Chain A
Amino acid sequence: MTDVRAATGWTTSDSELERVREEDERLARERTKIARDGPGLKDAELAARLDRTWRRPPGIIGWLATVDHKEIGRRYIITALMFLALGGVLALIMRLQLAEPGNNLVGAQRYNELFTMHGSTMMFLFAVPVMEGVAVYIIPLMVGARSTTFPRLNAFSYYMYLFGGLMLWGAFVLNIAPDVGWFAYTPLSGPEFSPGKRSDVWAQMITFTEVSALAAAVVLVCTILKARAPGMTLARMPIFAWAMLVQAVMIIFAMPAIALASGMLISDRLVGTQFFNQYEHGDALLWQHLFWFFGHPEVYIIFLPATGFVSVITETFCRRPIFAHTIVVLALMSTGILAFGLWVHHMFATGLPRVGYSFYTAASMTVAIPTGLQIFCWLATMWEGRPRFEVPMLYVVGFIITFVIGGLSGVIIASVPLDLQVHDTFFIVAHFHYVLIGGAVFPLLGILTYWYPKITGRMMSDALGKIGFWMVFLGFQLAFFPMHFSGLLGMPRRVYTYPAGLGLELPNMLSTIGAFVVAAAVGIFVVNGVVSLYRGRLAPANPWGAPSLEWATPSPPPAYNFPHVPVVESRTPLWDTGPEMPVLTGLRVDEKEMLLTTVVAAVPDLREPIPEPSLWPFISSVAVGVFFISSIFSPWAVPFGAIPCTIALIAWFWPKEMKRTPEPVIS
């Protein structure tokens, strides 16, 4: 090997080798003096020192530089709820427009923008990010870790999401909102039929949110697999962590499809490629295949975390472990796999080969089996347990009823003849709102009520919570059940009005009233959330008597989550451990450090330094944001925009202290 070194001229001198040897010895000596927690350093003194180490600097810089998963998770949740409100207002405007026949509150063009913005906002800016946000907050606590892995990537992911949302809504304010549906079918969205920049705004919003979701997915997978508390083997891992693991893996496989598709769409529009142009051997169906290869798993990307919420709430409020834990986990996994084999059922109306129809009908019906198994497991848990019907549990009951109705309408439209009949009608609108609102938003509202005391340190008002639940549950049925009938009567989706005398007046009026009841209920939820922040009863560490580790630390948790590393001996640690909980000690106190464990058996493996707060993730996201937005207007933005991104990412990676330390520190 010496020859190679001599030949290239890049040699390392003997004196440097000697220096390195001396330095290694000095560092080994210093290593023995490092402060660590343990029987000699615990309680108040430990808490004070850990707090000094883990707290971020104050002020706006510290706020932008934070890498605390709790802070990032909170921002994710609040931002996503704001987009929920915005998307909800669009829905209300659409419902007002449809309240009576021949209405002209909004015209056809504005209506196109409204449903596009509503769908895109709800799917990309609310549903996926809110699930990621809840997980980013809770997962490290639930698995007993001090932080997520890659905390700076986590911060970057939030800023990318925020900028993508701001870009879409900025475009709406500037009257260049996309108007081609949340799925932007070609050729409608292509250069021929959508001149201007509306479709490009949609495609780049996708790019932002997909970068964000992919980054968060990697963070979550690594946290769940590598940062679990010692003893939390895969067999003992909480079901919510399983749900998030499956969801994050699904994101990793599904999002590249939409990235590729939106990239092709933009290049068709900007530089004249011919992917979707049938006159030059392209194919509009290529878009639909790529879009739905992402779009169908997307539904489960939203739904699986929600099933995790349901398992969490059901277990706690029935005071017994989930019935058939293993079957629930296997159901999550098989749903995740089957979800990738169904996408063509969105394309039944495009004229497929017969065998394609049969295969995708069968596959679409099959996916009902694991979901059905989960529902039976929850019912069995309630049957065997002693359910307490507090607000989160009410949402679970509302979820089961609503989701089963939506699931049944879903199973029947897996059949091609029926699908062709109701395709593009309000029947489909009813179906997917039953599965998305019933299946994801109800559990979300339940889990936000449930984890609110952990996040804020106060309880939400029970009375307002119950009023809100009943309004949202009943209002939802009023809004969406009549849509089954308007759909069967032939009312098409995405058309801004309808004529009188077809029997559509009553169901539409009922839907509009229901929509406003739901909106009022969401308003009550928000008021409850805000008022309880100041007036709510102070929450103890474990107000619901729950079994998982996030409740083994104060509410709200300190910046370092746990003073010592908790050790897990069962699936429901807080129910099974006595007044004392086994812990491991020995992590650093004066620098941020966490414990990594092995993937399957969760045996302590190595100690990992946690990065200091840094502005570079924020600066990088600004650079990437400028890159993405300017590439709407010119292809030259791609090479030139890449330069600041590269510089920012290098600065992010480059160590700020060039001195060797006894143990690694990420500055």
Chain B
Amino acid sequence: MIPAPRFTGSVAELPTTKFGSSSLTWWGIIGFMVIEGAGFGLSFAAYFFLMGHEQGWPPEGRAAPNLLYGTLFTIVILLSEIPNTIIKKAARERDVPTIRALMPVMIIAGILLLVIRGFEFNNLNCRWTDNAYASIIWAILLLHTIHVATDWTDTVVLWALMMTPLGWEGRRLVDTDENSLYWRYVWLLWIPIYLMIYWVPRL
């Protein structure tokens, strides 16, 4: 019943590691980016849905969030792409020493961003319980903070792993490559959020 095998070739010489869309890690990361992107997209839709009902935005003549810390966050997260790009390139070139040296920079940048984020929450000029406007901007900012914190944790764990002999393994280099890709996603997401929280209320 089961057809007999007719040997037509061998896959023994195929690689076990490839970067980019050949690797499963890439597909997994893209999958979760799309999931989270759908969540963010819908939260943006909720923001504009609630805004559509209002005469003013923020409603009830409240003040828009203070610009300083949000803008500072934007500058730092955009600058963090410089070491991020170098790490991504180094991963593809199996330049482990550079990765080991630069990942602490990303970790420090992450801590800095989380501290600034704390000040941002304090400068929204509203509490989440005030009204639906306040609820939605708190929610979007919190969702983004979770992403910053998640990638920060990933980076710490990955850095610890890269310091071991396993850092030279192809799979770990793919992980590093994709971790950098994810960080790009985190700051790309931030740009519309920055505009929605800080500039749309000023229009």
CB within 8 Å of B: which residues of A?
A: 1, 4-5, 8, 10-12, 17, 20, 23-24, 36, 38-39, 42, 149-150, 153, 214, 217-218, 221-222, 225-226, 252-253, 255-257, 259-260, 263-264, 267-268, 271-275, 277, 280-283, 286, 289-290, 293, 540-542, 552-554, 563-565, 567, 574, 577-587, 595-596, 598-599, 604-609, 646, 650, 653-655, 658-660, 663-664
Could you write out 25 A-B pairs with CB less than 8 Å apart? A10-B104, A11-B97, A38-B12, A149-B28, A218-B32, A252-B35, A273-B129, A273-B138, A274-B129, A281-B59, A290-B42, A540-B1, A542-B1, A552-B2, A564-B5, A581-B4, A584-B9, A586-B13, A586-B14, A596-B22, A599-B21, A607-B15, A609-B16, A658-B166, A664-B169
A9's nearest neighbour on chain B, judged by CB, is: B101
Known: A283-B49, A664-B17. A607 touches B11 (CB 8 A): yes
CB within 8 Å of A: which residues of B?
A: 1-18, 21-24, 27-28, 31-32, 34-36, 38-39, 42-43, 46, 49-50, 53-54, 59, 86, 90, 95-98, 100-102, 104-105, 128-136, 138-139, 153, 157, 161, 164-166, 168-171
A8–B50 CB distance below 8 A: no
A599's nearest neighbour on chain B, judged by CB, is: B21
A290–B15 CB distance below 8 A: no
B3–A581 CB distance below 8 A: yes
| Bound-state Cα–Cα, A563 to B4, Å | 11
Besides A8-B105, A582-B8, A586-B14, 9 more A-B contacts (Cβ < 8 Å) are A8-B101, A38-B12, A218-B28, A256-B36, A540-B1, A554-B2, A577-B3, A578-B3, A580-B3
Q: Which residues on the A side are within 8 Å of B11 (C-beta)?
A: 565, 584-587, 595, 604, 607
B8–A650 CB distance below 8 A: no
Known: A581-B3, A664-B17. A5 touches B97 (CB 8 A): yes
Known: A273-B138, A605-B14. A226 touches B166 (CB 8 A): no
Closest approach, in angstroms, between the C-beta of B4 and any C-beta of chain A?
A: 5
Q: Which residues on the A side are within 8 Å of B59 (C-beta)?
A: 281
| Bound-state Cα–Cα, A553 to B49, Å | 54
B27–A606 CB distance below 8 A: no
| Bound-state Cα–Cα, A564 to B135, Å | 56
Specify which of B5, B12, B34, B97 lies most central, judged by the most chain A CB atoms within 10 Å of its CB.
B5
A567–B8 CB distance below 8 A: yes
A24's nearest neighbour on chain B, judged by CB, is: B168
Known: A282-B50, A579-B4, A606-B17. A12 touches B24 (CB 8 A): no
Which 6 residue pairs spanning A and B have beta carbons closest together?
Answer: A586-B12, A586-B10, A581-B3, A273-B135, A256-B39, A282-B132
A36's nearest neighbour on chain B, judged by CB, is: B12
A606–B42 CB distance below 8 A: no
Q: Which residues on the B side are within 8 Å of A38 (C-beta)?
A: 7, 10, 12
Q: Which of A149, A286, A583, A598 contacts B24 (CB 8 A)?
A: A149
Known: A283-B50, A290-B46. A39 touches B7 (CB 8 A): yes
Q: Which residues on the B side are within 8 Å of A607 (C-beta)?
A: 11, 14-16
B31–A283 CB distance below 8 A: no
Q: Which of A579, A584, A660 contacts B168 (CB 8 A)?
A: A660
A654–B157 CB distance below 8 A: yes
Q: Which residues on the B side are within 8 Å of A574 (C-beta)?
A: 3
B10–A1 CB distance below 8 A: no
Closest approach, in angstroms, between the C-beta of A141 and any C-beta of chain B?
A: 13
A222–B43 CB distance below 8 A: no
Q: Which residues on the A side are within 8 Å of B42 (C-beta)?
A: 256-257, 260, 290, 293
Q: Which residues on the A side are within 8 Å of B97 (C-beta)?
A: 5, 11-12, 17
| Bound-state Cα–Cα, A264 to B142, Å | 12
A650–B157 CB distance below 8 A: yes
Closest approach, in angstroms, between the C-beta of B85 and any C-beta of chain A?
A: 13
B24–A150 CB distance below 8 A: yes
| Bound-state Cα–Cα, A214 to B131, Å | 31
A580–B12 CB distance below 8 A: no
Q: Which residues on the A side are within 8 Å of B12 (C-beta)?
A: 36, 38, 585-587
| Bound-state Cα–Cα, A475 to B168, Å | 64
B59's nearest neighbour on chain A, judged by CB, is: A281
Q: Which residues on the B side are within 8 Å of A542 (C-beta)?
A: 1-2
| Bound-state Cα–Cα, A470 to B98, Å | 70
Closest approach, in angstroms, between the C-beta of A248 and any C-beta of chain B?
A: 9
A283–B53 CB distance below 8 A: yes
Q: Which residues on the A side are within 8 Å of B90 (C-beta)?
A: 1
Closest approach, in angstroms, between the C-beta of A187 and any C-beta of chain B?
A: 13
B132–A274 CB distance below 8 A: yes
A13's nearest neighbour on chain B, judged by CB, is: B97
| Bound-state Cα–Cα, A263 to B50, Å | 17
Q: Which residues on the A side are within 8 Å of B95 (C-beta)?
A: 1
Known: A38-B7, A664-B170. A541 touches B1 (CB 8 A): yes
Q: Which of A10, A260, A272, A609 contacts B128 (CB 8 A)?
A: A272
Q: Which residues on the A side are within 8 Å of B28 (C-beta)?
A: 149-150, 153, 218, 222
Closest approach, in angstroms, between the C-beta of A568 and any C-beta of chain B?
A: 12
Q: Which of A17, A222, A274 contacts B131 (CB 8 A)?
A: A274
Q: Which of A222, A260, A580, A655 contacts B39 (CB 8 A)?
A: A260
| Bound-state Cα–Cα, A582 to B102, Å | 49
